[in-house]
Amino acid sequence: MTISSSLNAGVAGLSGNATRLAAISDNIANSATYGYKRIEADFHSMVISSQGGAYSAGGVRSTTQRLIDESGALVSTSNPTDLAVRGRGMLPVAQISEVQNGNGQTQMYLTTTGSFRTDANGYLKSPSGQVLLGWPALADGTIPTYPRDTADGLEPVLINVNQFSGEPTTQIDLGVNLPAVQTEAGADGAVSELSVEYYDNLGTSENLNIQFTPTVPAAGSSNEWTLSISDSAQPGVTIGEYTLVFDDSRASGGTLQSVATVTGGAYDPATGGLIVDVAGGPMELNIGLVGAADGLTQLSDTFAPVSISKDGFPVGNMTSVEVDANGMVRAFFDTGITRTVYQIPLVDLPNPNGMVALDEQTYLPSPDSGSYFLWDASDGPTGDIVSFAREESTTDVAGELTSMIETQRAYSSNAKVIQTVDEMLQETTNIKR
């Protein structure tokens, strides 16, 4: 019985070391594979109780575990949609075959790195067929509230590389100085004119035509102007008219004192803005707060548009797509527009090593890994997303080669045990002779 148990222990040793060698060979083979997580083989002794009788060798049992929670070093690349996770968390992806089938909700897989580029259909896809998943943004670039404990809100990131985009103008800030001498008695009452370009809802260039007409008194100074606004998209129509009075005191000389509405939207003294209705809808015209020197002023004898700023852009072409550290997928256009089109969450699990390992460095949550949660990148326990980067394999080739030598010696020793048992059994057989 003891000799037989020795033989069984030797066979178990061969099997265990063969398993360890298989893990080592897999690690070395994938030493240059981006995102590869190394496998670790472990041995566990088996004890067979003899209950006071002859001792029996139990042998050894081997187990393997893929160390998914280990992170490899990050290396820089030249592709803005090469992504890697720095810290805890994983990127959600789907298989392109499932996306193309269109049979409903795609299965969410997880990975820590990927080289994503737009394919013929515009999907951000890796060479191995993984499509990046994200939450789609609304038209204004905001991300709605999506459930965090399920992948139902995630969609394949689809980038229309031929997309045109414009942004209508909704606000114009006027910083203009009006000549104080024009409101004095005897002035010629010359009208000061200003044309400000804006972009309508279709990206077409239009103009607000603004006229400042001074009130010339019979004596002294009126410090009063009439502001008239017309829209090039509505010829011959005055969309707003206001009476402006400026302060001439020593403390606040040259600043707005009051604004009275004749026609158009009312002036808001809390914001310094007034609303006018251009052809495409309401637009805010900011002329400054009462008593402030950052909007319309009346100083000296010069008409000067000091500062005019506005939002909105003409129609432009998409030039590139990048993902920032918080997972926001931003599309850049040649007109200077930047639009948020998706948000990539980071998925975290209590036990990443409990996930099911699949091909192409992808993993599937399982009961052993625990319930997952979708975090904003850099929020909670998760790290951030690094673009222009890939994660290297976690394999340490020098360490694996050292382990290979140890495994070879252990395998040879177990083979020697089997050979010795065989010789002892041969001696036992020879007793009969």
Phi/psi class of residue 326: alpha, beta or left (left: φ > 0; alpha: ψ in -120 to 50)?
Answer: alpha
Phi/psi class of residue 203: alpha, beta or left (left: φ > 0; alpha: ψ in -120 to 50)?
Answer: left
pLDDT at 122 over 60: yes
DSSP 155: E
Residue 375 CA: distances (Å) to CA of 109, 340, 349: 16, 18, 11
Q: What per-residue string of b and e applies to 277-315 under the rule 16 or more CB within 10 Å gives b?
A: ebebeebbbbbbbbeebebbbbeeeebeeeeeebebbbe
Higher-pLDDT residue of 8, 178: 178
pLDDT at 348 over 90: yes
For 267-285, what is the mean pLDDT? 92
Closest CA to 253 of 212, 217, 304, 291: 291
**Residue 162 banded pLDDT, cuts 50, 70, 90:** low
Q: CA-to-CA distance for 182 and 358, rounded, in angstroms?
A: 80
pLDDT at 365 over 80: yes
**Residue 261 banded pLDDT, cuts 50, 70, 90:** very high
Q: What per-residue string of b and e applies to 376-409 under the rule 16 or more CB within 10 Å gives b?
A: bbbeeebbbbbbbbbbbbbbeeeebeebbeebee
CA 208 and chain centroid, separation: 38
For 395-413, what is the mean pLDDT? 93
- Residue 418's SS3 state is helix
Q: Return the pLDDT at 56.
A: 77
- Token pair, residue 415, equals 């083979």
> H-helix or E-strand containing 174?
strand 171-178
For 264-415, strand residue ranges (E) read 267-268, 273-278, 281-286, 297-298, 304-310, 313-323, 328-333, 338-343, 346-348, 356-358, 362-364, 373-375, 384-387, 389-391
Q: Return the pLDDT at 50.
A: 61
pLDDT in tens, 221-234: 999 999 999 999 99
- Token pair, residue 247, equals 């302060």
- Token pair, residue 37, equals 């997580």
Summary mean pLDDT of the chain: 90
The structural domains of the chain, ordered by start, are 2-67+394-430 (no CATH), 74-164+322-391 (no CATH), 169-311 (2.60.98.20)
- Residue 251's SS3 state is coil
State the CB neighbour count (10 A cutoff) for residue 3: 14
pLDDT in tens, 46-104: 887 666 667 777 788 888 999 999 999 999 999 999 999 999 999 999 999 888 887 76
**Who contacts 425 (Cβ-Cβ below 8 Å, separation ≥6)?**
3
**Residue 289 banded pLDDT, cuts 50, 70, 90:** very high
pLDDT in tens, 34-46: 999 999 999 888 8
DSSP letters for 181-219: GGGBTT---PPEEEEEEEE-TTS-EEEEEEEEEE---SS
Phi/psi class of residue 406: alpha, beta or left (left: φ > 0; alpha: ψ in -120 to 50)?
Answer: alpha
Task: Give the strand pairing for 273-278 and 267-268.
Answer: antiparallel
CB 207 within 8 A of CB 196: yes
CB 297 within 8 A of CB 254: yes
CB 206 within 8 A of CB 200: yes
Q: Is-above-0.75 flag for pTM?
A: no
For 151-171, what is the mean pLDDT? 82
